[in-house]
Amino acid sequence: MKFFIDTANLAQIKEANELGILDGVTTNPSLMAKEGIKGRDNILKHYVDICKIVKGDVSAEVISTDFEGIIREGEELASLHENIVVKVPMIKDGIKAISFFKSEGIRTNCTLVFSPGQAILAAKAGATYISPFIGRLDDIAFNGLELIAQITGIFAVQGYETQVLAASIRNPIHIVKCAEIGAHVITSPLEPILALLNHPLTDSGLQKFLADHKKANG
Ligand code: E4P
């Protein structure tokens, strides 16, 4: 399972990358706004800055919702760097655009996926990744992990090449469960990734090892 970080914060991207476990980055317009990145030129430069840090796919999202606009934006984003994956919303023109990008050899991430039917359509259109949102489903009392399991099951049966990129991760259990279910990729904020490090028995065990070494060696 690949690990992507879900942020536009360069310091956090560097921190995750230095762990040696990072396979890519996802961003969205809300995450870019959170970092204060505004204006087309600054936004495009920020994507290039991210690509310079990480050797892996970087999802850059279009803000157009009509076919021509999505194509124009997507082609511009894809031309920035070979690792850019164009993130396209799960709407009718988005699906049309994903088919078009596929024919042009431009890789895509279909975002805002909340049902198996949407996932099937995006896979048929030739999306490289589809992003089902776990946390936002959990928030409205639907089981986000069940959706991931259903989609990975369908893709395996159908032999779709599209990768299931589990998004809207809120805690380390989401990550562990995605690994168990067979998600191809998770994208998570830094905190749940770092939380995977923690276990109280690791901390107490290490303290004991160090104390015993000190006792024996002075
Ligand atoms: C997916 O790529 C989105 O950027 C993201 O995972 C959404 O997460 P949120 O529901 O925590 O905003």
Residue nearest to atom 10 of ligand 1 (CA): 168
**Residue 13 token pair:** 């991207």
What would the mean pLDDT of 207-212 be, rounded to a whole number? 98
- Rounded to the nearest angstrom, the distance between the alpha carbon of 78 and the centre of ligand 1 is 21
Query: What does residue 208 show for φ and ψ, rounded to 5 degrees?
Result: -65, -45
Query: What does residue 54 show for φ and ψ, rounded to 5 degrees?
Result: -110, 135
**Above 90 in pLDDT, residue 148?**
yes
Name which of 86, 141, 150, 142 is nearest 118 in CA terms.
Answer: 150
- Residue 73's pLDDT is what? 98
User: Distance of alpha carbon 99 from its chain centroid, rounded?
Assistant: 21
**Above 90 in pLDDT, residue 173?**
yes
Cβ contacts of residue 157 below 8 Å, gap of 6+? none
What would the mean pLDDT of 36-53 be, rounded to a whole number? 97
pTM: 0.96
Catalytic positions are 87
Ligand 1 proximity of 131 Cβ (cutoff 6 Å): yes
- Rounded to the nearest angstrom, the distance between the alpha carbon of 164 and the centre of ligand 1 is 14
What would the mean pLDDT of 61-69 be, rounded to a whole number? 98
Mutate to test the pocket of ligand 1, among 129, 187, 188 (most ligand atoms within 8 A of CB): 187
Mutate to test the pocket of ligand 1, among 133, 164, 170, 190 (most ligand atoms within 8 A of CB): 133
What would the mean pLDDT of 42-59 be, rounded to a whole number? 98
Q: Is there a contact between 101 and 122 (Cβ–Cβ < 8 Å)? A: no
- Residue 218's pLDDT is what? 86
Ligand 1 proximity of 187 Cβ (cutoff 6 Å): yes
What would the mean pLDDT of 133-141 be, rounded to a whole number? 98
Ligand 1 proximity of 135 Cβ (cutoff 6 Å): yes
- Rounded to the nearest angstrom, the distance between the alpha carbon of 27 and the centre of ligand 1 is 8
